[in-house]
Amino acid sequence: MKAFETINQIRGEIREKQERIAEIQARCVHVWGPSRPDCPSSSFPICNECSSEKHGWWCPQSPTGECDYSLPSGRGFNPDSCRYCHQPEERK
* 17-37 confidence digits (pLDDT tens): 999 999 999 999 999 999 998
Mean pLDDT, the chain, integer:
90
The predicted pLDDT at position 12 comes to 95
Evaluate if residue 92 carries a pLDDT over 60.
Answer: no
Residue closest to 35 by CA, chosen among 44, 25, 22, 24: 44
Calculate mean pLDDT across residues 68-84.
87
Please spell the DSSP secondary structure of the chain, one letter per residue.
--HHHHHHHHHHHHHHHHHHHHHHHHH----EEES-TT-GGG--EEETTT--B-SS-B-TTSTTSB---B-TTSS-B-TT--TTT---SS--
Residue-level length of the chain: 92
Asked whether 85 and 64 are in contact (CB, 8 A), the reply is no
Mean pLDDT of 53-58: 90
